[in-house]
A and B are shown apart, each in its own frame.
Chain A
Amino acid sequence: MEQPKVGVFLSDCGKQLSEILDFDALTSFVKTIPNVALIARGSEFWRGKGLQTIVDAVKNGKINRVVVAENITKISDVNIAQAVENAGLNSYLVEVIDLKNHCAWPHRNTPKEATEKAKAMLLSAIERAKLLEPIEKLEFPALKSALIIGGGIGGMQTAVDLTDLGFEVNLIEKAPFLGGLAARAGRFFPTDDCAICIQPPSSDVKTITHTSRKCVYRSGFSEIPNLNILTNASVVAVDGVPGNYKVTVEKKPRYVDADKCVACDKCVSVCPVETSDAYNANLSKRKAIYINVPVVHPQVYVIDEDACKFHDCAKCVSACPTNAIDLDQKPEQVTFNVGSIVVATGFKEFDPSAIKEYHYDEYPDVVTNLELARMIDGFGPTGGQIMRPSNGKPAKKIVFVQCAGSRDRRYNPYCSGICCMISLKNASLVKEANPDAEISICYIDIRTTGREHEYYYERARDMGIKFVKGRPTEIYADEEKGKLIVDVEDALLKRFLDLEADLVVLATAMVPAEGTAELAELLGLDLEVDGFFKEYNAKLRPTETKQRGIFLCGGATFPKDAPTVSLHAHSAAMKAVKFLTSGKIVKDQRTAFVNDEFCGDCEFCPVMCPYGAISLEPTTEDHFVARVSDLLCEGCGVCVGTCPLNAIELRHSRPAQMEAQVKALMSVNGTSKPLVLAICCQECGHTAVDSSGMAKLQYPANVRIIKVPCAGIVRVNQILEAFKAGAQGVMIVECKTDGCHYEVGSEKANKKMDFAKVLLKEYGIEPERLETFKMVYIEGAQFAEAAQMMTDRVAKLGTLKLLGDS
């Protein structure tokens, strides 16, 4: 490789730094360092003339490594890296340090000491620069296609977006019909329109206008040319990488050929089997061959396996005019190759029979909001009549009980968020249709936080719906009166009420859909504390996951109302498009690589890697080595810190570079205080150092900063090396454990530092010389305080004596 020729560009940030640091001394110092080919001084190098100086030096071949002492607050590193790349030098051959916020400002009261520290910082940057290696851009092919899991309102809207933008989409739904929970819920707030109404796809040439919205079954959704809909289907296996997933889907038999069925109803009329209709809250009966409601998609009958007598009966087979019924259909597996996966599996109602005192499974007249919604629906089991399931008589007195299983530490500690609005909507719909209905809502807190939601509460009060502030302790049956009694205290009146009811409606909690945990396991996704799918970052990447090609949408991440599901669906679609639209994934090879000579037969790194980027590859018989996927690797270095044989390294942060930097930082002191090395993760740790400088907080200049990708990369031997190089104390400055940018890095670092302390003791070094600090960007004050504390602590301990020291 070409001999390194380092260009050093010293910015005094418009003379403000030269008032503190002795720039002449710095220049003469840098001149003495081998391989420095150019030194330039200026007031700024991140733009304009200064940047042009760097570009010219690169272009005329004078330098092949760039060290810039600038001011990171001006995003100088981004600009400089880009300019250098354009000038023909790999952008990874640039090292930018911040003499202002990491040196001049925090040590402004001790300018001589600051100048000595600046020398150490420059030497460290130059030594690192000499060892830097170019990093290539990689391209991975990616399919412009998606598999959407879940055919509810979220999955369908994502499908419309993706197909409109030219993606091949496979939409799979576990149930025999599309629509999900939304289709059963009847009407939606705040628009009061039908749940199954969607925005038609642009392929619906006949009706598409900006204003149109339509029932799913006539929206043209099912006829989108690049959409493949599979009902009765679920994922059984997932393989591959982002951009190229291979998903195996199992399709349960429908026993009716979709291509032949004309939805004529003849099969239903001859079917002798009647069974309880779970879709309609078991409030009515249906046949063993059935369709949920007339407006569903697909318009194809399905046979209920548990109820049908198959060949013992087969009346439907002979009745079918198109020979569509095939009782011998078997489950089949289908494989899809797709670029991305969207999880839109939604949520479901909590089973309130767990709350014994509400007797849900004992009293038929205690129902859930979804069951009431089926009664409200004109296509529902009661034709829109609100009745008592126990005797089919009209329900006049209705009591709603909020938070049934929500905000309850025994079941679901969270607020499900939408149940107040659902009850207000359902109560208003019932009251509107039956003005003489007597409706009470028992609540702990009414939460109507969305736009226009408070008006529902207002309207409900206006309609004469009563509100009782109290959570009922029990629902019991008054056999004589034939009523249910809701036992509740109105806390505002401090009065005990026994509310009589024909029907009690439980506003049940909303919990993760069936099979959520299993699907998460298949997809390699995490669940959050309440069991829903966990997004990558709730604030910034609400529909992305730690698997780059897998996206989340709708109620899969938490219960949501329809408008929020829509937002989520469009966001997930946008993210999938952004990821795949160019047909390739481009990324820098800022990744780990394995040295086969040292690696072998251990499984530490694949287990530790937060991104599943490392696999084991067999070599000879019974032996294997680790392999890193450049596509999946995020370049954090947790594997590096984990490897017991030092067999794995990061291309952009080699141990040799760190060693050279530490030696450099420890080679110049210039203060009366003992040297302390602060190893800072490039995320929160290093930015906390930035912010302490920006705030001009003061800490002693003996504290020397080194940046690493993640605290998880640090090896125990590197701590020992630091002491050997002259550090009297070592600080690890990192993200807070649950805020680690690389999931587990901070946590792994802590374990290693605990171990390092044990080793230090063995070597006769006081373990207090090593300390871990967790902070976030804004906690500059904590960093300054920690730096002062460590300096004081180490000074008190006295000079470190190492074995072999004379």
Chain B
Amino acid sequence: MPHHNIKKAETMSFSEEVTCRHGGETLTACYQCGTCASSCPVARLDPRFNPREVIKLSLLGEREEVVSGDAIWLCTSCFNCQERCPQNVEIADVIYALRNIAIEAGHSPNIYADFGAALIAEGRIVQISKFVEKKREEYGLPPLKPVGVEDLNKILVATGFIKPEKTEASQ
């Protein structure tokens, strides 16, 4: 059930903080059956990530462990868990919500900063390599159009992705 954000942030428990975010609404439906864990291709390979555990820690309010840890960044968004969860917990979406909280708290792997910088500078998070361009040509696909970086930046400012730099006047 979606929670409505009626409490002040300081008095909210961590699970409330998650459920009042877009994507995090279904967190509390979890009853730890573990279907997500056995569905997860990453959990088998990397002991640092187990979706059931991420959900449990969030429910128990272990904010620091979840937000500053590696686990939430290891999800590949394959959505297997979400597809099979018997309680309709939107696990992958909950993890997005957790990532947003982590980024706001200043915890994000460097690569995300690189992605962000590339997006602002070049309009794409990943540079298009010569290899990709060549492959497109091989398959008869048209070359990728250049991105309107200036227009994109306007959108990024408007949506708050880029925080406008404080001018002297606004101070």
Residues on A facing B (Cβ under 8 Å):
357, 403, 407-410, 444-445, 469-474, 487-491, 494, 496
* Complex contacts, A491 vs chain B, CB 8 Å: 32, 34, 37, 52
State which of B34, B39, B86 has its C-beta within 8 Å of the C-beta of A469. B34
User: Is A471 in contact with B50, judged by CB distance below 8 angstroms?
Assistant: no
Q: How large is the interface on B (under 10, 10 to 19, 20 to 34, 35 or more residues)?
A: 20 to 34
Are B37 and A489 within 8 A (Cβ)?
A: yes
Contact in complex: A488, B38 (CB < 8 Å): yes
Determine if B3 is an interface residue (Cβ-Cβ < 8 Å).
no
Greatest chain A CB density within 10 A among B34, B36, B87 is at: B34
List, sorted by A's number, 28 A–B pairs whose CB atoms are closer than 8 Å. Answer: A403-B33, A403-B86, A407-B86, A408-B86, A408-B87, A409-B29, A409-B87, A444-B32, A444-B33, A470-B34, A471-B33, A471-B86, A472-B35, A473-B39, A473-B80, A473-B84, A474-B38, A474-B39, A488-B34, A489-B34, A489-B37, A489-B43, A489-B50, A489-B52, A491-B34, A491-B52, A496-B43, A496-B44
Q: With an 8 A cutoff between CB atoms, is B88 at the interface?
A: yes
Instruction: Considering the complex, give the chain A residue whose CB is closest to the CB of B36.
Output: A473
Interface of B is mostly: helix
Interface residues of B in 53-96 (CB under 8 A from A): 53, 80, 84, 86-88
Choice from B31, B50, B84 contacting A444 with Cβ under 8 Å: B31
A409 in contact with B38 given A470-B33, A471-B33 (CB within 8 Å): no
**Alpha-carbon distance A407/B31, docked complex (angstroms):** 10
Quick check: B38 and A473 within 8 Å, CB to CB? yes
A357-B52 Cα distance, complex, nearest whole Å = 19
Tell me the nearest residue of chain A to B83, going by C-beta.
A357
Cα distance A470–B37 when bound, in Å? 9
In the complex, what residues of A have CB within 8 A of residue B35's CB?
A: 470-473
Among all A-B residue pairs, the 8 with the closest Cβ atoms:
A471-B33, A408-B86, A470-B34, A473-B38, A489-B37, A473-B39, A489-B38, A444-B33
Most buried by A among B37, B38, B50, B53: B38
Are A410 and B88 neighbours in the complex by a CB distance under 8 Å?
yes
Q: Which B74-127 residues have a C-beta within 8 angstroms of A? A: 80, 84, 86-88
Task: Tell me which residues across on chain A come within 8 A of B32, comparing CB atoms.
Answer: 444, 491
Task: Give chain B residues whose Cβ lies under 8 Å from the Cβ of A444.
Answer: 31-33
A409 to B34, CA, bound (A): 15
**Cross-chain contact B84 with A487 (CB below 8 angstroms):** no
Q: Is the CB of A409 within 8 A of B84?
A: no
A470–B38 CB distance below 8 A: yes
Interface string of B1-43 (1 = CB under 8 A from A): 0000000000000000000000000000101111111110001
Closest residue of chain B to A444, judged by CB?
B33
Min CB–CB distance A486 → chain B (angstroms): 9
How near does chain B come to A49, taking the closest CB pair, in angstroms?
59
Asked whether, in the complex, the Cβ of B86 is within 8 Å of the Cβ of A357, the reply is no
A444 to chain B, nearest CB (A): 4
CB distance from A764 to the nearest CB of B (A): 36
Does the CB pair B31–A496 fall under 8 Å? no
Collect the chain A residues with CB atoms within 8 Å of residue B84's CB.
Answer: 357, 473
Decide yes or no: A409 and B86 within 8 Å by CB, A488-B38, A491-B34 being known contacts.
Answer: yes
Q: Which residue of B lies closest to A496 (CB)?
A: B44
Q: Which residue of A lies closest to B33 (CB)?
A: A471
Chain A residues in 8 Å Cβ range of B37: 470, 489, 491, 496
Beyond A409-B88, A444-B32, A470-B35, 5 additional contacts (C-beta under 8 Å) are: A409-B29, A488-B38, A489-B50, A496-B37, A496-B44
Give chain A residues whose Cβ lies under 8 Å from the Cβ of B36: 473
Closest B residue to A402 by beta carbon equals B33
Q: Which residues of B contact A487 (CB under 8 A)?
A: 38
CA distance A494 to B87 in the complex (A): 20
A488-B37 Cα distance, complex, nearest whole Å = 8
For B87, the chain A residues whose CB sits under 8 A away are: 407-409
Report Cα–Cα, A409/B85, bound state, in Å: 9
Min distance, Cβ B83 to any Cβ of chain A, angstroms: 9
Query: For A494, what are the chain B residues with a Cβ–Cβ distance below 8 Å?
Result: 50, 53
Per the bound structure, the CA–CA distance linking A473 and B50 in Å amounts to: 14
Neighbouring A residues of B52 by C-beta, 8 Å: 489, 491
What distance in Å separates the Cβ of B75 from its nearest Cβ neighbour in chain A? 16
Nearest CB on A from B94, distance (A) = 16
Shortest C-beta distance, A358 to chain B (Å), equals 11
Docked pose: A469 CA to B37 CA in angstroms = 12
| B residues near A474, Cβ cutoff 8 Å | 38-39
- B34: which A residues are within 8 A, CB to CB? 469-471, 488-491
Contacts A407-B31, A408-B86, A410-B88 given; does A472 touch B38 at CB 8 Å: yes
Measured in the bound complex, the distance between the Cα atoms of B29 and A496 in whole Å is: 23
- In the assembled complex, which residues on chain B have CB atoms less than 8 Å from the CB atom of A407? 31, 86-87
Interfacial chain B residues near A403, Cβ < 8 Å: 33, 86
Bound CA span A470–B29, Å:
16
Given A470-B33, A471-B33, A491-B52, the answer on whether A496 and B88 have CB atoms closer than 8 Å is: no
A491 CB, nearest partner CB in chain B, Å: 4
Residues of A within 8 A of B29 (CB): 409
A468 to B, closest residue via Cβ: B34
Q: For the complex, give the distance between the alpha carbons of A488 and B53 in Å.
A: 15
Shortest C-beta distance, A338 to chain B (Å), equals 43
* Distance in angstroms between the alpha carbons of A212 and B85 in the assembled complex: 49
- Distance (Å) between the CB of A84 and the closest chain B CB? 53
Residues of B within 8 A of A445 (CB): 31
| Contact residues in A for B50 (Cβ distance below 8 Å) | 489, 494
A444 to B38, CA, bound (A): 13
Residues of B within 8 A of A496 (CB): 37-38, 43-44
Bound together, the chains give a CA A494 to CA B88 distance in angstroms of: 22
Closest to A469 in B: B34
A491 closest partner in B (C-beta) = B34
Bound Cα distance A213, B29 (Å): 46
Please give me the residue from chain A that is nearest to B84 by CB atom.
Answer: A473
A357 surroundings in chain B (CB, below 8 A): 84
Highest count of chain A CB atoms <10 Å: which of B32, B43, B84: B84
| Complex: A487 Cα to B35 Cα, angstroms | 9
Chain A, residue nearest B29 (CB)? A409
With the chains together, A407 CA to B34 CA distance in Å? 14
Q: How far is the CA of A488 from the CA of B88 in the complex (A)?
A: 19
Name A404's closest neighbour in chain B (CB-CB). Answer: B86
In the complex, A304 Cα to B39 Cα: how many Å? 44
Q: In the complex, A470→B43 CA distance in Å? A: 15
**Alpha-carbon distance A641/B166, docked complex (angstroms):** 65
Q: How far is the CA of A474 from the CA of B39 in the complex (A)?
A: 8
Residue numbers in B under 8 Å from A473 (CB-CB):
35-36, 38-39, 80, 84
Bound complex: CA A357 to CA B38 (Å): 12
Within the complex, the shortest CB–CB distance from A538 to chain B, in Å, comes to 24
CA distance A487 to B39 in the complex (A): 8
Q: Give the distance in Å from the alpha carbon of A409 to the alpha carbon of B29 in the complex.
A: 10
Q: Which residue of A is nearest B47, CB measured?
A: A494
Contacts of A409 in B (CB 8 A): 29, 86-88
Least CB distance from B35 to A in Å reads: 5
The interface residues of chain A lying within 8 Å CB-to-CB of B44 are 496
